[in-house]
Structure 1
């Protein structure tokens, strides 16, 4: 099984953005040496807990600091931007790192209503226009504006050969996104980050495979799930390390994005039995444990969702524990 990384550049208590981005670069270099397939960065706005507000800037820097791994956006929130500008930005990135750039796009806002208004210059863009915007993006990337397009004759630059162009992925968490990815012949990435997404995931994957239409970009469907992952030498150690991420998810589910704290700091939290149960429910969606436990869990998931590659979001504050988790996960994936 191939394995990849999603990095949200999560900021810890007392950490500067400069320190967080330095860790992102070092993590990308580390997993590049381990043989991971991709390293994607996310887009989030108006929060002090996540540093990745401009994935296109970070993608270029990471590509320059790594050697082999594909680098991409997980993803660009297309509704905020001109499809033409996104196409040209990722053509430039692809010319700088030919054959190594992924353009993952999503429909979610990646922030709060105020950041959406700011990004769209106080204008409202109907989310239902996203499929048309995505089709237009693909037309710019493939240099095939239809004769009826009002901008017919527009050149998308730089002019690069087909082998250098970015791979376009659709990101989503709903049957709508699965079917849209299938109809457009795109690879599809599903972010399984919360318990309420579990019932949608199987339906989304089934819709994707059922609706897939081969095209210029892909002749066969390709599905990649993204899971929250923590791997350690024992189940008990993994559960302890995962406490930081569970704490983060707990507040996120309440509409608050807080900086990450080390597991040892969680003892100062005073939680009700109901709140403790909610954290246990969140734990159920994690791929977490010793290598043997994680191997068994991934095989179970693979049998249900039929994927050849998975992406891991590893929210582990301690850099050495995170790297140990990356190393163990790669060994597990190589054995499947």
Structure 2
């Protein structure tokens, strides 16, 4: 089980997971970024986080996360318990058969630990997207069909031109499917196909409460999942001292101004402050879990952010036993 805490006020568990964009920080190398990714997963497992998910981006300077399925295979070999997932595989780029094969193979290697997170975004600039899969907009339009085929493959009832096709290997425990997004459209896909839903609050200008409500209201049970499940993906800048947290927040703001990249909603403060903000958000959103991305541009400080969050949760849990 992941880190959970039950308060006397709500008796609602607070579960945390890691979302890693695999940043290659200034002065570092892509090789070091990948070593840091594995180290983060190992530490997160030791500290009690539920999942380690990694993103998919293409030809984006400073990010070494183009192939989550490959990185997850590496991370799985270096960990024992933590769940492994994609945040997300950008489904319009790929055939549903290939995606099912990737994640069924991972599920066979790491039984009961694999999540298949799916997204609709391009994941790169127009030239990189065209080089990867051609007409992206056309592929997005076909997404309902692609999703249906993927779900059929994960249930061993897919046919191509009337002939059965099986995504092999066939694991004893299938990967758990999630849809990631920042709008009602992605929530509708998750509801229609009976998957879990992750709202990317850290990369959205809207708060998303209505998006989660629309998902729950429209959820249709599937053979892979009976009930709606929700995760809120948030950005957290946490440090032992308020001044240090403020320093990193200011650094990120300045970097955003220089690069022209927007930084949306981030939770900043000391461990106790961040904890209280997360609890308040959980009361507002009714989400089952938080997926934490820490954008601090320093590998040591980033690890410390995750450690401090784990520490304060264990402390609060002890107070309520």
Q: TM-score normalized by structure 1?
A: 0.85
How far residue 151 of structure 1 moved from its aligned partner, in angstroms, is 4.9
Look up the match of 2:216.
209
Taking the aligned partners of 2:215 and 2:102, their CA distance within structure 1 comes to 28
Taking the aligned partners of 2:203 and 2:88, their CA distance within structure 1 comes to 18
**C-alpha spacing 1:56/1:249, structure 2 compared with 1 (3 Å):** farther
Taking the aligned partners of 2:91 and 2:71, their CA distance within structure 1 comes to 17
Look up the match of 1:113.
126
Counterparts of residues 62-211 of structure 1 (less than 5 Å):
62-121=75-134, 125-145=138-158, 149-161=160-172, 163=173, 165-194=174-203, 196-198=205-207, 201-211=208-218
Taking the aligned partners of 1:333 and 1:309, their CA distance within structure 2 comes to 13
Look up the match of 1:259.
none
Look up the match of 2:20.
7
Unaligned runs of 5+ in 2: 1-13
Q: Could you tell me which of 5, 11, 20 is aligned with 2:33?
A: 20
Alpha carbons 2:237, 2:245 under 8 Å: kept: yes
**How many residue pairs get matched?**
303
How far residue 128 of structure 1 moved from its aligned partner, in angstroms, is 1.9
75-84 or 233-242, which moves further after superposition? 233-242
CA RMSD of aligned residues (A): 1.9
How far residue 248 of structure 1 moved from its aligned partner, in angstroms, is 4.3
Q: TM-score normalized by structure 2?
A: 0.89
Taking the aligned partners of 1:329 and 1:124, their CA distance within structure 2 comes to 40
Alpha carbons 2:93, 2:136 under 8 Å: kept: no
Alpha carbons 1:231, 1:289 under 8 Å: kept: yes
Alpha carbons 2:237, 2:268 under 8 Å: kept: yes
Residue 328 (str. 1) matches residue 308 (str. 2) = yes
Alpha carbons 2:202, 2:234 under 8 Å: kept: yes
Taking the aligned partners of 1:235 and 1:212, their CA distance within structure 2 comes to 41
Taking the aligned partners of 1:187 and 1:316, their CA distance within structure 2 comes to 28
How far residue 133 of structure 1 moved from its aligned partner, in angstroms, is 0.8
Taking the aligned partners of 1:137 and 1:248, their CA distance within structure 2 comes to 39
64-73 or 241-250, which moves further after superposition? 241-250
